[in-house]
Structures are given as C-alpha cells and as structure tokens.
Chain A
Amino acid sequence: MSRAPLALLRRVPYFAGLPDAILTALSAVAIERSYRRGEMIFLEGEPCAGLYVVAAGEIKIFKLSPQGREQILHRLGVGGTFNDVAVLDGGPNPASAGAVSDASCLVIVRSDMRRLAETHPQLAWALIESIAHRARILVGMVEDLALRPVKARLAKLLLAEAVQAAASQDAGDDAIDRSQMVTQADMAARLGTVREMVGRALRELSEDGLIAMDRHRIVIQDREGLVAVAEGS
C-alpha cells in the first residue's frame, strides 16, 4: 500500500510550503490508481485525466517517434508530479506515461484542481512554479540534444545515476532495486539516440579509463575525467 494521501502530498516539492487546509482539500479529491510494471498510465493525445502524483514506484514520461523510437522526457519517483501542462491548459496529454516499476499514483482531476486553485492562490502559485521548473529541465534537455555529442550526454547521465545511487545508499537503502538500474536501451531513450550509439560510447569511455564494466555494474573510476567529458572540455 502507498502512504496516506496527505503525507504524500507534503512530499511534493512545490506543495511543501502549502498550508494543511489546502493539502487536506487536495487529498480529499485525490483518486488512487495502481499500475503494474510496464503498464501504460496514459497516452499522448488522449484527453487529460488530471494531475498525477507518484505515490509509489517509478514512472516515465516519454514521446514515441513514428518508427517507435522512445525519447524519455522525465523519470519520476515518489512525490513527483506529471501532466501539469494538460491540467493547466485543458489540452490533451502532451506525452505518454508508463510505469517503470509497479507503481501507484494519486490523480486530481482538472475541475477539482481548478476549483481549488481559484480559491487558494498559494496553490495556483505552486503550480506555476512547477511548470517553470519543468520548463527549465526541458530547456536543459534541448541544449543537450542540440549541442552535446552522445558521449558527453552519456557521461552526464552516468554521473546523475551514480549520484542517485549514492544518495540511496546514504539513506540506508543498500538493496538495489531493478528500477534503479539502466539498460543500454533505457539510456538511448533518455539520450535521444539508439542503443548502438550508447554501446559505442560506453566502450570509448571504458577504453579511456573513465568507467569500468564489471558484470552488472558500470563503475565510474575517474569522476573528474567523466565530468570533463560531460562538459565537453
């Protein structure tokens, strides 16, 4: 079972400063939905069901090319929100969402969100902040795709994954969850390239002595060197 709605909403970064009265009102209208690993949550172009808050597990937001190639826009864990854009503009879902692991989400439908935002300006401001944050991430992604070669993007991704793994270990979570692991296909989908390019870049980084492939581990041996590759220096 996932945590209680009110406690979960407090974990949403941009809801954190909201008074309990608003969070209680949000939790009262939230609907919980569960998904199996690999299950679709919604499809791009479908009418918007509402704002989603990840209550358990991990989900991905992605776009598909006409040839079926996947570009992952975001991966979200507990407390992450998605579909904010469609909730605000009332348009269709701008991207698809799927469960990376067994997951559950709280869904707050658009009409409830709008009613609460109209009566609680702090909630409206929190939503604006979340959209601004999302825009900042997307601008960074555009910069990466347009200006950085695959090897640099891969170096950046590996560093981010290792930082996340180190944070999990610091939090006392030594067991490695499958959702915390990445395949070459996962990396390709996040980097806007194909698996073959990821394989080639991993080989190059390994030959440069920056990483080592050790069975199911990619060990970053030279952190500073990998940062230099990520920054293109």
Chain B
Amino acid sequence: MNPRMLPEINEALCTGCGECVSVCVPHALALTAGKAVMARPDLCAYGGSCEPICPVGAIQLPYQVLFDPHPAVSERGRA
C-alpha cells in the first residue's frame, strides 16, 4: 500500500497567518512556532479547504489521477 498522502506545506512560503488552521474541520493543522504544521496527520480528511484559503499558496494537495477500476458502475450512471 502507498503511505497515507497528506497536504504538502511549504514552510518557506508560510507566513503563519493561521487561515488554514481555522478552516481545517478535523483540526489536523495547527500553528507551531509561527508556521502551519500537520499536527495530527491521522485526522486529515484531505478535504481540501486549506489549499484555496492560503493567501500565499503554501499548502498543496497532490492527487493521483486514475481511471475508475469499476467502470460498470459509471456506465450505469450515464444511462
């Protein structure tokens, strides 16, 4: 299995404004020493609200793009 993917925080860009921490519903993010950090990675739901709120683009969520391994479900959805 792949390791659990988490949002990437660019510490050099982060200004410590705390916007991402305030919108993180599961409280996975926290401010430590003036920087946003993934304090509770086990709580991160990859909801993505932290990325657009960051005014300096310091948080990014990497995605893997793949085809549906169960295409029959999507065929039914299109009918």
Contact = CB atoms under 8 A, between A and B. Distances in A.
A182 B66 contact: no
Contacts of B71: 223
Looking at B5, B57, B66, the one whose CB has the most chain A CB atoms below 10 A away is: B66
Interface of A: 158, 161-162, 165-166, 175-176, 178, 180-185, 195-196, 199, 209, 212-213, 215-225
A223 B78 CA distance: 11
A183 B61 contact: yes
Given A165-B66, A217-B63, A221-B77, 10 more contacts: A161-B65, A165-B65, A176-B2, A182-B62, A217-B66, A218-B66, A219-B67, A221-B73, A223-B67, A224-B78
Contacts of A225: 78
Contacts of A166: 66-67
B52 A162 contact: no
Contact of B52 (A161, A182, A199): A199
Contacts of B57: 185, 195
A162 B8 CA distance: 22
A209 B79 CA distance: 12
Nearest to A184: B51
B66 A216 contact: no
B67 A216 contact: no
A222 B60 contact: no
Chain B interface size range: 20 to 34
Nearest to B62: A181
B67 A220 contact: yes
Ranked nearest first, the 8 interchain pairs of A and B with the lowest CB-CB distance are A216-B5, A161-B65, A181-B62, A221-B74, A183-B60, A215-B46, A218-B65, A221-B68
A87 B5 CA distance: 40
Nearest to A182: B63
B61 A216 contact: yes
6 contacts: A176-B2, A183-B63, A195-B52, A215-B5, A217-B64, A220-B68
Contacts of B60: 183-185
Contacts of B66: 162, 165-166, 217-220
A220 B61 CA distance: 18
A162 B65 contact: yes
Contacts of B67: 162, 166, 219-220, 223
Interface string B41-79: 000011010011000010011111111100101100110
